[in-house]
Amino acid sequence: MEVASCFSCSNQLPKLCLSFKNLQLHPKIFICNNNNDASSSSSTKKKRRSKTKIINKPKPALSTTRISTSQTQEAKAVNVRTLYQNGDPLGRRDVGKSVVHWICQGMKAMAIDFDAAETQGEFCEVRQRMGPGLTFVIQAQPYLNAVPMPLGLEAICLKVCTHYPTLFDHFQRELRDVLQHKKRLADTDWRETESWKLLKELANSAQHRAIARKASQPKPVKGVLGMNFDKAKAIQTRIDDFTNRMSELLRIERDAELEFTQEELNAIPTPDESSGTLKPIEFLVSHGQAQQELCDTICNLNVVSTSTGLGGMQLVLFRVEGNHRLPPTTLSPGDMVCVRTCDSRGAGTTSCMQGFVNNLGDDGCSISVALESRCGDPTFSKLFGKNVRIDRIPGLADALTYERDCEALMMLQKNGLQKKNPSIAVVATLFGDKEDFSWLKENHLADFAEAELDGQLGSGSFDDSQRRAITLGLNKKRPVLIVQGPPGTGKTGLLKELVVLSVQQGERVLVTAPTNAGVDNIVEKLSKTGLKIVRVGNPARISPAVASKSLSEIVNSKFESFRAEFERKKTDLRKDLRHCLKDDSLAAGIRQLLKQLGKTLKKKEKEIVKEVLAGAQVVLATNTGAADPLIRRLDTFDLVVIDEAAQAIEPSCWIPILQGKRCILAGDQCQLAPVILSRSALEGGLGVSLLERAATLHEGVLATILTTQYRMNDAIACWASKEMYGGLLKSSPTVASHLLIDSPFVKPTWITQCSLLLLDTRMPYGSLSVGCEEHLDPAGTGSFYNEGEADIVVQHVFFLVYAGVSPTAIAVQSPYVAQVQLLRDRLDELPEAAGVEVATIDSFQGREADAVIISMVRSNTLGAVGFLGDSRRMNVAITRARKHIAVVCDSSTICHNTFLARLLRYIRYFGRVKHADPGTFGGSGLGMDPMLPSIS
Ligand SMILES: Nc1ncnc2c1ncn2[C@@H]1O[C@H](COP(=O)(O)OP(=O)(O)OP(=O)(O)O)[C@@H](O)[C@H]1O
């Protein structure tokens, strides 16, 4: 079944659900998940860490079904942890009757729509979209989203709404009731309906049986790779132990995440309806008031225009009625949303479509949403000229990531040692013990030697350790290679070379990374090689710099002429239709032709997508995105490469690995780690990456280490080497002493000749510079900002630019999202700073810049430094700099952490310190005296 591209962190975008009618609006608690500290927008996990802001939304005017207090209290006794997940449907006893009632309502709406589609002769479209497992779960979301979750039970609802066996079970029951009722009136056999037949088809599919009975016995192990039965059985036992343990840890982590959400919800007092504090939804839309809260619903929107995108997605541009600005919103590109028509109060919905946010307009008044194209579809055309509301569908992206990780573990357990598994040698290597490993080698089933290079490498561009890594990686019989290397040792460059050479030796390669930023980084490198590369993923999550390599752009460009021809024919037919409206049979014929034309367009597009992917030498996606059916349907890959592998949990790495014959993992376990919310999941080992585990296996023979760095001035590299790598990191003489002054057109100033600089907002006599206190983001994101530090950063950028440093060679980082936003706003005011990159530390991993400025933000009397104290994050931040690093901070706060205190001491000793006061430079940095400050 079809899932065309992606949403949120991963890369799957569900095809549109069916239209559905007669849905009622209900009072609802809206959850606003905001990225705050450190998190890159691509990391959904980080979203979980962010404080959740809840807004009690107003009640629509429609009649609503309130769950009674006693019901809620009764159901509150149910704990999310008590839910089990063995593949059986969860019943009243497990989740409580309020939640069961909630699912029933959602599934009933879906069943009614199912039946309506059959009555209206649109069932083949339904058939196309429906499928077992995740496909079904995705289709069910808008229906569930339209029913209010019982108060206090949101976490359980979020868990249940992705529990396939439960949803399917309830849907089956509701559909049967709907069909029975209808057919009783018509006196026909309801079992003969298309809807029921489709349901039975799903229930009989192998995938349904596999998912709905996860507890079933794994297949019996036969001898694999010619091993005797006992050996194979021992490996299978290890796989079983591993997958069972990991599934349990994933479940604990997911529960922790849901409990976190529930705690946040519970912390909000129940709205006092009599107080009159609730405002109608249109108030939020039409009043630009300061006290407006962030919301994940936007109402009173009108369709302005439409255009067609990939996969038949219709990009629909909405604008707020009366050209008001959009309300402050949590919606961001890639978010999955439900689009419905409504009245001016946001109520009275008549139809619903699922899609994802493409972007929010720069004018602040518009939003564009990708919906599935529905040529001649009455549901789609109903949006025109109507009030429309857009609601975010929460939690599904995280649920999908979780489901895909679980699915990968299931496939590893069931198929890992089956003959048909292309990655059987990888599985045997990573789960076999020393004896099995030697046996593989002796029997020439795996070879860990270096491959011959035949002078393919460009001379001089790689050192010995890099050459060794490349030759090991080119050996087609080597199942696993781990490339470990501190920052700047050339891992990404080496991976690029490896991919190019592997393609040259006839291999097809799948390249993944845990985050979209990581994937885009390697796409950027590979795009200059002339290889046929395709980046698969949600277009809204792909960096504009590499958009031309995305599947959507490639398909669109190939499809252009065909689409133009289609539009021309469609216009002609429409004209004809207008002329013969009185002749029913002729009009019906033309309508039929229009429908046929739409189908041909879709078919052609599918063919092009298939052709592009099949012709690609390299396919790139996130680890989770590699589960996209578009990728899964392709032939087995010869090689799977995972970059930034230390940042991924092991289950997610198995998604791409199981699709290739061999794999190469590159990363550094001293850089960003996987983010785990639950302490017990962390202690249980969920935070241990595959890279870390595999590097120590079989006496380290799977790994190769790089130790010479080619990025940083030695003063910067020495700090990282001492703090993080036991002094092992060496600097290449080509970079060891490079400074900003060595770049062309850069003037000699004390700053351009300084590699390490501390801009301290604390004065030598102990007082803090005016305006340099930290503040909690009033938007309620839980993030912090510091205006004084922002001013100091701006003026430092100004000094650098004034000294001749190119703005594109400067990067500004902060661990806090609110500070990043503030810095962007401030630097936008400075035309000289156009081109300076401002990013969170997490999103800048894997990148580099000549000059890096870090704003630490925290300044408080308690000495609280939050996650600044995470040495791996600070290692990433500092090691992005090639020639100059400036740390802006309040030393008295930061020094409360011993690791950070050592960093400041190191800068004081080997670099320079300036006590910075934003007031003396004229605030925003604009119009200030460009004389360079002296060092105090
Ligand atoms: N052998 C080499 N000779 C000269 N420069 C090199 C060599 N290898 C790598 N470099 C340069 O070193 C810099 C860092 O390389 P790269 O980004 O690939 O490192 P990395 O290990 O991926 O770093 P990180 O872990 O921080 O992402 C790049 O500018 C690259 O051009």
The residue whose C-alpha atom lies closest to atom 1 belonging to ligand 1 is: 462
**Residues 421-432: what's their mean pLDDT?**
91
The secondary structure of residue 329, as a DSSP letter, is B
Q: What is the mean pLDDT of residues 677-699?
A: 91
Best substitution site from 462, 483, 492 to test ligand 1's pocket, by max atoms within 8 Å of Cβ? 492
Ligand 1 center from residue 533 Cα (angstroms):
22
Q: Provide mean pLDDT across the span 328-332.
A: 75
Query: At which of 213, 248, 275 does a domain end?
Result: 213
For residue 711, report the distance from its CA to the centre of ligand 1, in Å. Answer: 6
In a domain, 261, yes or no: no
With bands split at pLDDT 50, 70 and 90, how would you rate the model's confidence at 267?
A: low
Q: Report pLDDT for 612.
A: 92
Pick the atom of ligand 1 nearest to 706's CA.
21
Together in a domain, 521 and 648:
yes
DSSP H helical ranges for 527-583? 551-579
Distance 494 CA to ligand 1 centre (A): 8
Query: Is 60 exceeded by the pLDDT of residue 203?
Result: yes
Write down the pLDDT at residue 869.
83
Residue carrying structure tokens 């229009």: 594
Mutate to test the pocket of ligand 1, among 710, 738, 743 (most ligand atoms within 8 A of CB): 710
Residue 846 alpha carbon, nearest atom of ligand 1: 27
How far is residue 156's CA from residue 101's CA, in Å, rounded to a whole number?
13
Mean pLDDT, rounded, of the chain: 78
Task: Give the mean pLDDT of 128-136.
Answer: 79
CATH number, residue 872: 3.40.50.300
Number of domains in the chain: 5
Out of 213, 233, 258, a domain closes at 213
Q: Which of 108-112, 177-181, 456-460, 510-514 has the lowest mean pLDDT?
A: 456-460
In which element (H, E) is residue 480 found? strand 480-484
Last residue of a domain, one of 616, 639, 660: 616
Among protein residues, the one with the nearest Cα to ligand 1's atom 9 is: 490
Q: Distances from the Cα of 239 to the Cαs of 218, 277, 334, in angstroms?
A: 11, 56, 35
Ligand 1 nearest-atom number relative to CA 880: 26
| Closest residue by CA, ligand 1 atom 30 | 490
User: Are 784 and 909 in the same domain?
Assistant: yes
- pLDDT computed for residue 86 by the predictor: 60
Distance 908 CA to ligand 1 centre (A): 28
Residue 288 lies in a domain: no
Residue 913 has pLDDT above 70, yes or no: yes
Residue 712 Cα to ligand 1 midpoint, Å, equals 10
Rounded to the nearest angstrom, the distance between the alpha carbon of 469 and the centre of ligand 1 is 14
* 710 alpha carbon – ligand 1 mean position (Å): 6
Domain-embedded: residue 284: no
Residues 6+ apart with CB under 8 A from 739: 713, 752, 753, 754, 755, 883, 884
Which atom belonging to ligand 1 lies closest to the Cα atom of 734?
4
Instruction: Provide the b/e sequence for 524-563 (b: ≥16 CB within 10 Å).
Output: bbbeeeebebbbbbbbbbbbeebeebbbbbbbbeebeeee
Quick one: pLDDT band at residue 148, thresholds 50, 70, 90? confident
Whether 33 and 330 have beta carbons less than 8 Å apart is answered as yes
Residue 80 counted as domain residue: no
> Could you tell me the distance, in angstroms and rounded to a whole number, from the CA of residue 634 to the centre of ligand 1?
32
Read off the amino acid at residue 435: E
Q: Is residue 239 situated within a structural domain?
A: no
Nearest to 785 by CA among 852, 854, 856: 856
- Is the domain of 352 the same as that of 421? no
670, 675, 680, 683: CA torsion to nearest 10: -10
Q: Tell the residue nearest (CA) to atom 24 of ligand 1.
A: 487
Which atom of ligand 1 sits closest to the CA of residue 461?
1
Q: Whose CA is nearest to atom 18 of ligand 1?
A: 490
- Ligand 1, residue 494: give the atom nearest the CA: 18
CA of 754 to the centre of ligand 1 (A): 22
Are 314 and 181 in the same domain?
Answer: no
Q: What is the mean pLDDT of residues 391-399?
A: 67
Tell me which residue of 313, 353, 337, 335 sits closest to 398, measured CA to CA. Answer: 335
Q: Atom 3 (ligand 1): residue with closest C-alpha?
A: 461
Place of tokens 């002429």: 561
| DSSP letter (8 states) at residue 66 | P
Q: What mean pLDDT do residues 535-563 have?
A: 84
Confidence of residue 665 (pLDDT cuts 50, 70, 90): very high
What is the mean pLDDT of the segment spanning 422-433? 91
- Amino acid letter, 340: R
Q: Give the model confidence (pLDDT) of 731-782 as tens digits.
A: 999 999 999 999 999 999 999 999 999 999 988 787 888 888 899 887 666 7
Task: Report pLDDT for 822.
Answer: 92
List b or e across 156-178, with b for residues whose CB sees 16 or more CB atoms inside 10 angstroms.
bbbbbbbbbbbbbbbbbebbbeb
Same domain, 827 and 905: yes
45 pLDDT higher than 70: no
CA-based angle 70:73:78, to the nearest 5?
A: 135
432 phi and psi, to 5 degrees? -80, 160
Ligand 1 mutation target, pool 711, 844, 882, most atoms within 8 A of CB = 711
Asked whether residue 384 falls in the same domain as residue 447, the answer is no
Ligand 1 center to residue 799 CA distance, Å?
28
Per-residue model confidence (pLDDT) at position 98: 87
Test site for ligand 1: of 489, 511, 708, most ligand atoms within 8 A of the Cβ: 489
CA-to-CA distance for 877 and 724, rounded, in angstroms?
13
Summarize pLDDT for 804-861 with one digit per residue, the tens: 999 999 999 999 988 999 999 999 888 888 899 999 998 888 899 999 999 999 998 8
Q: Ligand 1 center to residue 833 CA distance, Å?
A: 26
Measuring from each residue's beta carbon to the nearest atom of ligand 1, which residues come in under 6 Å?
Answer: 461-463, 466, 485, 487-493, 668, 710-711, 846, 879
Beta bridge pairs of residue 484? 667, 705
HSE at residue 621, side-chain half, CA atoms within 13 A, is: 33
CA distances from 577 to 375, 527, 566, 594, 595 (A): 15, 47, 16, 10, 13
- Residue 441 in this model has a pLDDT that exceeds 80: no
Q: Are residues 869 and 820 in the same domain?
A: yes
Mean pLDDT calculated for residue range 480-491: 94
- Beta strands, E only, 650-699: 660-667
What's residue 67's pLDDT?
38
Is the predicted pLDDT of residue 286 greater than 80, yes or no?
no
Confidence of residue 918 (pLDDT cuts 50, 70, 90): confident
CA 491 to ligand 1 centroid distance, Å: 6
CA distance linking residue 740 with residue 883, whole number of Å: 6
User: From ligand 1's centre to the CA of 492, what distance in Å?
Assistant: 7
Distance 846 CA to ligand 1 centre (A): 10
639 DSSP 8-state letter: E
The two structure tokens encoding residue 98: 């309020």
- Nearest-atom index, ligand 1, CA of 463: 1
Which ligand 1 atom sits nearest the alpha carbon of residue 493? 18
Report which of residues 16 and 719 the model is more confident about. Answer: 719
CA of residue 489 to ligand 1 center, whole Å: 5
> Going by CA atoms, what residue is nearest to atom 11 of ligand 1?
710
Q: Is residue 367 part of a domain?
A: yes
Question: Would you say 350 and 339 are in contact if contact means Cβ atoms under 8 Å apart?
Answer: no
Outline where 358-476 has alpha helix (H).
378-381, 396-415, 424-431, 434-442, 464-474
CA–centroid distance, 757 to ligand 1, in Å, is 23
Letter string b/e over residues 265-295, b meaning 16 or more CB atoms within 10 A of that residue's CB: beeeeebeeeeeebebbbebbbeeeeebbbb
- Ligand 1: which residue has its CA nearest to atom 5? 710
User: How far is Cα 757 from Cα 168, in angstroms, rounded to an integer?
Assistant: 60
At 930 the pLDDT is 37
Residues 484 and 363 in one domain: no
Ligand 1 midpoint to CA 709 (Å): 7
User: 812: Cβ–Cβ under 8 A, 6 or more apart, which residues?
Assistant: 793, 797, 823, 827, 836, 837, 838, 839, 852, 853, 854, 855
Rg from Cα positions in the chain: 29
Phi then psi for residue 474, to 5 deg, are: -85, -10
Q: Name the band, by pLDDT with cuts 50, 70 and 90, for residue 266.
A: low
pLDDT for res 557: 84
Q: Would you say residue 664 has pLDDT above 90?
A: yes
Distance CA 386, CA 645 (A): 48
Q: Are residues 556 and 682 in the same domain?
A: no
Count of H-run helices and E-run strands, the chain = 32, 27
**Backbone phi, then psi, for 525, in 5-degree steps?**
-70, -45
- Ramachandran assignment for 804, one of left (phi > 0), alpha (psi -120 to 50 degrees), beta (any other): left
How does residue 922 score in pLDDT terms, banded at 50, 70 and 90? very low
The C-alpha atoms of residue 719 and residue 737 are separated, in whole angstroms, by 14
306/434 same-domain check: no
Positive/negative CA dihedral, 378, 384, 385, 388? positive
Instruction: Report yes or no on 225 lying in a domain.
Output: no
Same domain, 862 and 756: yes
Q: Would you say residue 900 has pLDDT above 50? A: yes
Residue with the nearest Cα to atom 16 of ligand 1? Answer: 490
Amino acid symbol at 823? L
42 confidence band (pLDDT: 50, 70, 90): very low
Closest residue by Cα to atom 27, ligand 1, is 846
Q: Which residue's CA is the closest to the ligand 1 atom numbered 14?
A: 488
Q: Is the ipTM of this complex over 0.90?
A: yes
Q: Which one has a higher pLDDT value, 62 or 160? A: 160
Examine the pLDDT at 265 and tell me if it is beyond 60: no
Domain of residue 167 covers: 97-213
C-alpha 439/C-alpha 422 separation (Å) is 19
269: nearest Cα among 152, 162, 402: 152
Residue 485 CA: which ligand 1 atom is closest?
21
pLDDT of residue 457: 66
743 CA to centre of ligand 1 in angstroms: 18
pLDDT over 60 at 389, yes or no: yes
Q: How far apart are CA 790 and CA 772, in angstroms?
A: 9
Q: What are phi and psi of 54, to 5 degrees?
A: -115, 135
Query: Which is it for the CA torsion 780, 784, 789, 790, positive or negative?
Result: negative
Residue 312 is predicted with a pLDDT of 54
Kindly state whether residues 525 and 656 are assigned to the same domain: yes
Q: Which residues contact 308 (CB under 8 A, 6 or more apart)?
A: 314, 315, 373, 563
What are the pLDDT digits (tens) for 547-557? 889 998 888 88
Contacts of 264 (CB under 8 A, 6+ apart): 31, 51, 52, 54
213 CB contacts (<8 Å, ≥6 apart)? 87
How far, CA to CA in Å, does 147 sit from each of 34, 140, 156, 819? 23, 12, 14, 37
pLDDT at residue 377 greater than cutoff 60: no
**Angle formed at CA 564 by CA 563 and CA 566, multiple of 5 degrees:** 60
Residues whose CB falls within 8 Å of the CB of residue 248, separated by 6 or more in sequence, listed in order: 684
Measured from the Cα of 643, ligand 1's closest atom is 22
Assigned domain for 630 exists: yes
581-592 pLDDT, tens digit each = 666 777 778 778
Residue predicted with more confidence, 63 or 714 = 714
pLDDT tier for residue 666 given thresholds of 50, 70 and 90: very high
